[in-house]
Structure 1
Amino acid sequence: MPSMLEVCDLAYRYPGASAPALAGVSLAAGRGAVLGLLGPNGAGKTTLISHLSGQLPIQQGAIAIDGVPLTEVRRQAPTRIAVAPQEYAFFPALTVAENLACFAGAARLSGARARERVAACLAFAQLERFAGQRGARLSGGLKRRLNLAIALLPEPELIVLDEPTVGVDPQSRAFLLDAVRRLADGGAAIIYTSHYMDEIEAIADRVAILDHGQVLRDAPLADLRAEGARQLRVEAAGLTTPTLAAALAPFGTVREEGGRVIVDLVAGADPGLALAAVAAAGGEVRQARYGECSLEQLFLTLTQRTLRD
Structure 2
Amino acid sequence: MISINQLSKKYEDAEDYSVKNLSLEINENEIFGLLGPNGAGKTTLISMLSSLIKPTSGSFSIDELTFKEHKNKLKKTIGIVPQEYALYPTMTAYENLWYFGNMYGLKGVNLKKDILDQLAVLGLESFAHKKIQTFSGGMKRRVNLLASILHKPKVLFLDEPTVGVDVQSKNVIIQHLQKLNKNGTTIIYTSHHLNEAESFCDRVAIIDKGEIVIKGTPAQLISNLENATNLEDVFLQLTGKELRDHA
Q: Shorter-chain TM-score: which interval?
A: over 0.9
- Which of 230, 233, 241 in structure 2 is aligned with 1:297? 233
Structure 2 unmatched runs, 5+: none
Judged with a 3 Å threshold, the aligned counterparts in structure 2 of structure 1 residues 129 and 52 are, in CA distance, closer, same or farther, namely same
Once the 2 structures are TM-superposed, how far is the Cα of residue 77 of structure 1 from its aligned partner?
4.7
* TM-score, reference length from structure 1: 0.76
Aligned: 1:218 with 2:215:
yes
Q: Residue in 1 aligned with 2:174?
A: 177
- Which of 98, 119, 123 in structure 1 is aligned with 2:95? 98
- The one-letter amino acid of 1:149's match is L
User: 2: CA distance between counterparts of 1:172 and 1:73?
Assistant: 36
- State whether residues 29 and 181 of structure 2, in contact with CA within 8 Å, keep that contact through their aligned partners in structure 1: yes
User: 2: CA distance between counterparts of 1:61 and 1:112?
Assistant: 43
Mark the structure with the bigger radius of gyration: 1
- Which of 26, 30, 35 in structure 2 is aligned with 1:33? 30
Aligned: 1:147 with 2:144:
yes
- State whether residues 12 and 58 of structure 1, in contact with CA within 8 Å, keep that contact through their aligned partners in structure 2: yes
Q: Superposed, which structure 2 residues align to 1:114-129 within 5 Å?
A: 114-129=111-126
Judged with a 3 Å threshold, the aligned counterparts in structure 2 of structure 1 residues 307 and 10 are, in CA distance, closer, same or farther, namely same
- State whether residues 22 and 210 of structure 2, in contact with CA within 8 Å, keep that contact through their aligned partners in structure 1: yes
CA deviation digits over 1:65-119, x for unaligned, max 9? 1223134343235221111011111111011111111111111112233224323
Once the 2 structures are TM-superposed, how far is the Cα of residue 10 of structure 1 from its aligned partner?
0.4
CA deviation digits over 1:274-299, x for unaligned, max 9? xxxxxxxxxxxxxxxxxx53110110
Q: Aligned with 1:16: secondary structure?
A: coil
CA deviation digits over 1:153-198, x for unaligned, max 9? 1111110111111111111111111111111111100011110101
* TM-score, reference length from structure 2: 0.94
* Percentage of pairs with the same residue: 39
Aligned: 1:202 with 2:138:
no
- The one-letter amino acid of 2:99's match is C
Structure 1 unmatched runs, 5+: 233-291
Aligned: 1:6 with 2:3:
yes
CA deviation digits over 1:178-236, x for unaligned, max 9? 111111111100011110101101210000110000000121222112113xx35xxxx
Aligned: 1:66 with 2:63:
yes
Q: Which has the higher contact order (CA 8 A, sep 6+)?
A: 2
**When the two structures are aligned, how many residues end up with a matched partner?**
245
Q: Residue in 2 aligned with 1:306?
A: 242
User: 2: CA distance between counterparts of 1:46 and 1:35?
Assistant: 14
User: 1: CA distance between counterparts of 2:207 and 2:214?
Assistant: 7
- State whether residues 227 and 293 of structure 1, in contact with CA within 8 Å, keep that contact through their aligned partners in structure 2: no
Greater strand proportion:
1
- The one-letter amino acid of 1:67's match is E
Q: Residue in 2 aligned with 1:85?
A: 82
